[in-house]
Structure 1
Amino acid sequence: MIRRILLAVDDSPTALKAARLAVALAAATRAELRVLHAVEDHVLTDAVGRVSTARDVARRREVSAENVLRVVSELARDAGVTARTTLRGGGPVECVLAEARSWEADLVVVGIPDDARPGAAAAVIEFADQPVLVVPGRRPPGGPSG
């Protein structure tokens, strides 16, 4: 039985696709939904801050992450699903695995963007203690239609 669904999101279109599926699944099963966004450690933020004229890059990344979580919360609310959001700092794989274990998720939902290697999703699949539903981006050219 699925009682708790952990959805990992970033700012990709595939994450939005995964969010829609996770929300629909939560609504159909009356499961709790937790939405996680991991903000990678500050190496990238520091590097961008050094070469950019933009001020407060770290705060901008945080606001972007908060916006992603807000959009998914609104999708859930519109479907009658209560979603709790979590923003964590660190590597996405480590954050997803830690959250899934500590919250005792029954299912983890992740998306794989079209331009991404499946490395992070593969690591979540390999090391998660619960089933992982992977939502792909677009269908490959010439792939089956549905």
Structure 2
Amino acid sequence: MYGFTTTLTDTSFEQALARTVDALKSEGFGVLSEIDVQAALQDKLGLAMLPYRILGACKPTLAHQALQAAPDIGLLLPCNVIVREASPGHIVVGFLDPQIMVRLVGSMVGPELQAVADAAEQHLRSACARLAGNTAAVSAV
């Protein structure tokens, strides 16, 4: 598994996007980047698709700790979050599991980096659960 998701129903894409940013903020994350995949594919390839955004989320204290523990870990930052419309009124919000970062660097992982991944995972899962209204609506991907 590489992440976890929840599906929001009876909401617009823009409302789901705003709720996602708010849920991230409530856990101390800011959004450093936002990629509008729908617009990019339309512009570059002339392809139509449902709304799809990739958010680059960062919790500064955790990013600093990770960079202190392993300076090149910036290759795996920030934490990616997707917001995509699966069908009208059904918006999937997905979070990359920070434990993937630890698995990718393998033997280079020290206890400091593992602690950062653990904390980031806890905060992202909390944001996901906040969106879902409970933890039962969170699925692994």
After TM superposition, the score normalised by the length of structure 1 is 0.28
After TM superposition, the score normalised by the length of structure 2 is 0.29
Greater helix share, 1 or 2? 2
Greater strand share, 1 or 2? 2
Which structure exhibits the higher relative contact order, with contacts defined as CA atoms closer than 8 Å and separated by 6 or more residues? 2
